Every structure is written in structure tokens, then in C-alpha cells.
Chains A and B, each alone.
Chain A
Amino acid sequence: MRIKPVNAAVFIISLLLIQTTLLEYSEIAGIKPNLLLVLAVCAGLLTGSSEGAVIGFFAGLAHDLATGTVFGLYALLSAAAGYLTGMINRRLYRDNIIVLIAAVFAASVVFESAVFLLFGWGELLTGSLMGEAAKIGFAVTRIILPEAAYNCLASVPLYYIIIVCCRNRNKNAGKLNAL
């Protein structure tokens, strides 16, 4: 399967809009899913490493530009997420929902842990105000793991929306070519 650049752009922009506005109302215990990361993982699974990396890069870049603090942080991490899940693509049957959920979960945990480490290492070295162990514990149990679970939940509908949209386009393209 291929995701056209136009489709990818539409997905990224619409997901970014939802992410920064409506998703606030879907928060559970202050946590919302990261739809742009889920998009990068889905793209990697559906299309492969290189396209996954490109779509992941632009999805992360959109996140950086919208509300990021460090320019390029999300872009690089999302690109890596897309690239790495793209490697699963070749080895496992990609329409398997368990593969999708496992990939989203693993990518979310790695991605958010990396954000936490890159962002918070200075504080971890100098000593947090409330204690380092408490802080790491909080980050893992209250942010990283809940978000990974929420991402898994969000990934299933998003995955099928991507498949349906891209298939229809591909079919139309095929018809046009045949004509």
C-alpha cells in the first residue's frame, strides 16, 4: 500500500487540529492519546520504513510547530518511530490487529520515554524537588503507560480510516489508468 503525499498532508493537518483542540475533552486522568505518533506507526506498518519515516517526520514537525518547545524533537522521534515500525512490516503480517496494537504500544513507550529523558535529564541529574524516584515513577505510571494504552485504543479506528481512504484512492487511480 502507498499513502500519497496529499493524503498524508491531509491526515497530518486534520489530526494536528483534532490533537490540539478537541482531544482536550477526551482526556482520561489528564492524559490524551498522541494521534500524530499513532499516524507515524500506522504509516510505517502500512507502507514500510522509508515512507513511515517521512510521514513520521512531517507529523512530528507539525507537532513541534504547533505546540513544541524544542524544535525538531518530535520530528526526529516520530521519524524514528515510523522507520522502526516500517521494519516490522516486512516480517509480520500487517493486517493483524495484535501486531498493530503491540507496535503502537512499544512505539509509544519508547517515544514518550525518550521525550522524558531528553527533556528531563538535566533535572534528573541535579535532583528533582520532589525526589528523582518519585518523578520517574510518576512519569512512567501516570503518563507513559496510560498514554501508550490510550494510543492503542485510538490506533484501531485510525488504522482502518487510513486503509479505507488510501484504498479508495488507489482504486480510483487504477480505474483512471485503465481508461
Chain B
Amino acid sequence: MRFTKKAAAAVIAAFLIMIIAIGLFVRPDSKLGWLGNIVSVPLSPFQKLLSIAGRKLEGSFLFISEARELREENEQLHESLNELDEALREAAELKTENDQLRKVISFKERFGEYDILNANIIAKDAGNWFNIFVIDRGISDAIIMGRKGLYSAYYPVITGEGLVGRIVSSYALSSKVLSIIDEGSTVSAVITKNRSIVEVKGDIALKDKGLCIIGNIKMGDETGIAPGDTVETSGLGGIYPKGIIIGKVIEVGRNEKTMSSYAILKPAVDFEKLEIVFVMRSKVTDDGMTVIP
């Protein structure tokens, strides 16, 4: 009985302690909350370890059970990946093939009032002073100088890269093209970044290097021109339509004698490697009427 009495007393004591403890702990602002740390702090790393291990274990069990399914899926994916690779390669090929054409099409879209006619260069200048070349399109392709009616009198010549020049005279089956690097060529242009108007001219001394010059830039009013600036046609003068890329400025210099600056321009078109060009025929007549070809 003694034994039982002791036990009963211990149980009652424990019970009372528990009730008191519950009473103390139950309040959220209880000052005895730190006692929980006695258990949680040393245990938490083990808990973490075990829970991660458990998750891994679960994953590997899943992997084993799904291995066959995954292998099949993997094979399928490999196949479709190969197919996609092939398609991608084809697309890349097509892209490079179409790059030139796309450039020309973009020209067609941008300059909707023009017909774009491709032409081959068939002869280069006979002398050393000028830079004129001959293309295989002429009056038979409705390139008629000074004509009023079907097409306007000016025929700019371009490539996918930019401006080449303009036709100066046309014959039955061929035309002469004056390139922008010829000394006789002047193109009204704008500097793309700030829209200031400049003149792009050819120069004997720069012709062989395939470069142009921008002259008559007044000192103090250098129009903010700097190497790297893009220059495009201004549309003024009525020969070249607005917005055709001419090239990039590579050097800015000063001529103290004439109190002006000049800039040397590298055309976007490489005149050494020029073989195929495009002639722009305006669909708008001198009377402002649009021709439906």
C-alpha cells in the first residue's frame, strides 16, 4: 500500500506540476517560452537532416518505380530533340539565305512608292578619274532619263546595305551609274542622331579607298558630328528618297584655311566587291499621279 500511496502521491504531484506548467505556458506572453528551446535547439539540425534524407529517399523510391516510364520518355525526348535540331539548322540556313532578300524586301516596304529592279554591273570606269559603272538595265526596263509620265526622272541605285549612287544616263540595254564616291556626286544627307543636314561628296583622293567626304561644316557649328555617327539621305533635292543609309563617319578633320571642318565617311556599301545592285524606279509621276504597273 505504501508503494501505492507513494506512486499516487507522485502522480498527483506530477499532475499538479503539469497543470501549473500548462497554466504558465498557455499565455502567449509567457516568460517561460524559452524553456522550449531546451528541446528544439539541439534537435533542429537532426530534424533537418532527417527530413531531407526522407525526401531524397522518397524521390529515389519514386525513381526506381518510374524508371521504365522515364526511359521511354527520354527516348521520345531525344527523338524530338533531334528533329528540332534539324529544323533549327534548316531555319538558320534559310535565314542566312534570305537575309539579303529580306533587306531588299524591307526596302520595298519602306519605299512603297518605288519599284525595285535588280541589275548586274557589266563594266567599270575606263579611266582613273571617275567612278562610273555600267549596269545591264536600260531604256528597255523603263529607265528613261528626264522622262515625264510613267516613272520620275531620277533613279537611285542601292544595295541591301545602303546607297550606291544614281543613274546618270541610260541606253537601250544599259545605264551609267554615278557612284557616291565619284567626285561629281553630291548627296544631301542628315546625321541620324541629330538630324542636321550635311552634304556627302566624292573626292578624287578618297575614291580609291572607297570613302566619301562631308564638307562645308562651319567651325563652331560642327553639328555635333563625331566618328561613328550614321549618315543617311535627307530626301532634300528630290533625287534620293529619305532614309537610305549612306555610311558611317570615321574621321573628323579641320581645314584652317577655309575655316571649316570636314568629315570622312565610310559608305555602308563596299564598292570594291559590288556586283549586284538595285535600281529604284519611282511609281509617282511628276504630276503626283501613282502608276499601277
- Residues of B with C-beta under 8 A to A74: 127
Report whether B215 and A129 are in contact in the complex, using a CB–CB cutoff of 8 Å: yes
A16 to B123, CA, bound (A): 10
Report whether B258 and A20 are in contact in the complex, using a CB–CB cutoff of 8 Å: no
Report whether B204 and A139 are in contact in the complex, using a CB–CB cutoff of 8 Å: yes
Please pick, from B127, B168, B184, B201, the residue contacting A129 in the complex, using a CB distance under 8 A: B201
- Residues of B with C-beta under 8 A to A29: 208
B280 interface residue, CB < 8 Å from A? no
Report whether A66 and B255 are in contact in the complex, using a CB–CB cutoff of 8 Å: no
- Residues of A with C-beta under 8 A to B215: 129
Report whether A147 and B128 are in contact in the complex, using a CB–CB cutoff of 8 Å: yes
A5 interface residue, CB < 8 Å from B? no
B144 interface residue, CB < 8 Å from A? no
Report whether A36 and B213 are in contact in the complex, using a CB–CB cutoff of 8 Å: no
- Nearest-neighbour CB distance to chain A for B87, whole angstroms, equals 43
A116 to B130, CA, bound (A): 10
Please pick, from A16, A116, A129, A130, the residue contacting B126 in the complex, using a CB distance under 8 A: A16
| Known contacts A34-B127, A63-B127, A67-B132: A120-B183 contact under CB 8 Å | yes
- Residues of B with C-beta under 8 A to A31: 128
- Residues of A with C-beta under 8 A to B27: none
- Residues of B with C-beta under 8 A to A134: 205
A90 to B215, CA, bound (A): 51
Report whether A19 and B204 are in contact in the complex, using a CB–CB cutoff of 8 Å: no
A31 to B133, CA, bound (A): 16
Report whether B213 and A129 are in contact in the complex, using a CB–CB cutoff of 8 Å: yes
Closest to B262 in A: A129
B124 interface residue, CB < 8 Å from A? yes
A138 interface residue, CB < 8 Å from B? yes
| Known contacts A20-B124, A67-B125, A139-B204: A130-B255 contact under CB 8 Å | yes
| Known contacts A129-B215, A134-B205: A67-B262 contact under CB 8 Å | no
Residues 118-137 of chain B: 1 if any A CB is under 8 Å from the residue's CB, otherwise 0? 00001111111110111000
Report whether B134 and A66 are in contact in the complex, using a CB–CB cutoff of 8 Å: yes
Among B124, B183, B215, max chain A CB count under 10 A is at B124
Report whether B130 and A69 are in contact in the complex, using a CB–CB cutoff of 8 Å: yes
A119 interface residue, CB < 8 Å from B? yes
A134 to B265, CA, bound (A): 19
| Known contacts A129-B255, A130-B205: A67-B129 contact under CB 8 Å | no
Residues 175-193 of chain B: 1 if any A CB is under 8 Å from the residue's CB, otherwise 0? 0101000011000000000
- Residues of B with C-beta under 8 A to A138: 204-205
In the A-B complex, list the 5 residue pairs whose CB atoms are closest, starting with the nearest.
A30-B208, A20-B123, A129-B215, A138-B205, A19-B126
Q: A67-B132, A129-B215 are in contact. List 17 more A-B contacts (CB 8 A).
A: A19-B126, A20-B125, A20-B126, A20-B134, A29-B208, A34-B127, A34-B128, A67-B126, A67-B133, A67-B176, A74-B127, A115-B127, A119-B129, A129-B201, A129-B213, A135-B204, A139-B204
B residues whose Cβ falls under 8 Å from a Cβ of A: 122-130, 132-134, 168, 176, 178, 183-184, 201, 203-205, 207-208, 213, 215-216, 255, 257-258, 262
A residues whose Cβ falls under 8 Å from a Cβ of B: 16, 19-21, 24, 29-32, 34, 36, 63, 66-69, 74, 112, 115-116, 119-120, 123, 127, 129-131, 134-135, 138-139, 142-143, 147
A sample of 13 cross-chain residue pairs with beta-carbon separation below 8 angstroms, ordered by A number, consists of A16-B126, A34-B128, A67-B132, A67-B176, A129-B201, A129-B203, A129-B255, A130-B203, A130-B255, A134-B205, A135-B204, A143-B128, A143-B129
